[in-house]
Structure 1
Amino acid sequence: MDSETFLGDVAIVTGAAGGIGAATARMLAAHGAKIVLTDIKQALGTQVAADIGEAARFVAHDVSDGCDWKTVLSVAEDSFGPVSILVNNAGIAPTPTPLFEVSEADYRRVIEINQISCFLGMKTVAPSMIGRGGGAIVNVSSVAGLKAERGAIAYVASKFAVTGMTKVAALDLAKDNIRVNSVHPGLVDTPMVRPEGGAAAFEPILQFASGLPIPRPGSPAEIANLIVFLASKSASFLTGGSYAADGGWTL
């Protein structure tokens, strides 16, 4: 891909104030796309958009709120035109908790942010894509959308749901020239997996990673590379797929 790969494309990237989302937004912009970045972390998101420059706008966004999604789409269309790329990246990963200790409120919160957000995003943005003749949606799931993990009932449920929703959307939207795929990151060095406490607190995560076929955490850029590829015309024959980027964890 070169600096004009996404020339004329308009992208919405959620959870873009840092980590995988910020890396994806920067990469899409570097290849020519106009970007609307969204997140609840306003100061960080505004800074990422400022770093990208005139090709980017930031919108404070609760991804579980349908009205907020309509606002995001309006900003994108008013600023740059119809949307052609949607990256549903926003999500949360709660602390592992045994089944009987998970509250209903906590369970619902994970489902709303990780799963319902993807439904709202696809439902809201797809008509804009149809109006411009097609597009690409990439939903960021997780290895937990492919395999179970102890103490993560809400997270696993939400990410398996994203995997299935992606496949249904791929079928429903194929006639409209919209491709839909999911990406499944494993252990990636982002604020979500780096606990407070510095290097000592991160050591158990590094020890776990050392047992993977690729014995280290991934970087946000490595996941962004896959997302950007799936959004590009180079992936024009790919839809409904589930692509693990996990250092071999699911093996």
Structure 2
Amino acid sequence: MLYGNGKIDGREEMDINGKSAIVTGAAGGIGRATAVLLAQRGGAQIALVDVNEAGLAETARLVEVAGARASMHRLDLSDIAATEAWFRAHGDVDILHNNAGVVSGLPQFPDVDAARIRWIVDVNVTSLIAATQIAVQAMKKRGGGVIINTVSTVALGTGFYDAMYATTKAAVMMFTRCCAPLKDECNVRVAGMLPGLVDTPILDTTGAGGKSEWMKTVLANNEACKPEDIAGGVIALVEDDSLAGGDWVAVRRLDGQIAYQWGHADTV
């Protein structure tokens, strides 16, 4: 038996009821939807992390309506020292959803400056690795836990218009797969959530004060998921302790239906 408390249909299940969690990027979109669903599934305490204080306040309200205690934490994940300090103080939880992420906006690579590149890498990759490292150490001491990293289906493709976003998400995918042994070594299962196109506020940061022309083209030619569609996949990853470390699921919307693509650490 791993960190689960029971079995459903032969699967070892982690019971979210009474558990504590951290959700980064919780001010809206996938992070908000996941935090609310964790609360609805019985989560007891959910720490909400973001730079958007107004968004955090609304997420906290929704989480508490759903029955969990919420705490709001304004944290700039591009500040790695601050991120490490925060997770050392707050990272002793059962569940961590490393969800926060940013896109390049304009200008795109190669015209983007070095400071902007560093910011994207630090928010999307460096802070996630730091958070995972500290959380794994705390989870090992308490007996185990689950970490879900938000990746992207662009990590499964051959390229993407936003080169830096795609590069960082590919890095998160590889990191998640490399964390597979932690399930046996620390009783901490690290998994990847790969959203396809999702209708969230991040789309409005691809251009100058709104959606970029390339994003408008993507939207015109693809069906967008809702944040709740992705949150449902996150919960499925959290609850199923029969999954191997490094497992992942891609979630897309095709012909009006949600489509799931499951994979393992050794497959792409």
The Cα of 1:108 is off from its aligned counterpart by: 1.5
The residue type equivalent to 2:220 in the other structure is Q
120-129 or 141-150: which moved more? 141-150
Tell whether 2:46 aligns with 1:35.
yes
Q: Which residue of 1 is the match for residue 11 of structure 2?
A: none
Alignment of 1:13-28 (within 5 A): 13-28=23-38
156-165 or 236-245: which moved more? 236-245
Alignment of 1:112-127 (within 5 A): 112-127=122-137
Residue 105 (structure 1) aligned to one of 101, 115, 121:
115
Q: Secondary structure at the match of 2:193?
A: strand
Tell whether 2:232 aligns with 1:225.
yes
Separation (CA, whole Å) in 2 of partners of 1:122 and 1:110: 18
- The structure in which a higher percent of residues are strand is 2
The two structures, once aligned, show a CA RMSD in angstroms of: 2.8
The Cα of 1:22 is off from its aligned counterpart by: 0.3
Q: Which residue of 1 is the match for residue 220 of structure 2?
A: 207
TM-score between both structures, scaled by the size of structure 1: 0.83
Separation (CA, whole Å) in 1 of partners of 2:88 and 2:198: 29
Separation (CA, whole Å) in 1 of partners of 2:108 and 2:86: 38
For structure 2, the residue ranges without an aligned partner over 5 or more in a row are 1-7, 9-13, 262-268
Q: Which residue of 2 is the match for residue 242 of structure 1?
A: 248
Separation (CA, whole Å) in 2 of partners of 1:165 and 1:114: 12
Pairs aligned (count): 236
For structure 1, the residue ranges without an aligned partner over 5 or more in a row are 77-81, 210-215
The Cα of 1:201 is off from its aligned counterpart by: 11
Separation (CA, whole Å) in 2 of partners of 1:240 and 1:141: 12
Q: Call closer, same or farther: CA 1:99–1:70 in 2, change over 3 Å.
A: closer
The Cα of 1:120 is off from its aligned counterpart by: 0.9
Contact kept in structure 2, 1:24 and 1:228, CA below 8 Å? yes
- The structure in which a higher percent of residues are helix is 1
Q: Secondary structure at the match of 1:26?
A: helix
The Cα of 1:106 is off from its aligned counterpart by: 1.9
Contact kept in structure 2, 1:148 and 1:156, CA below 8 Å? no
TM-score between both structures, scaled by the size of structure 2: 0.78
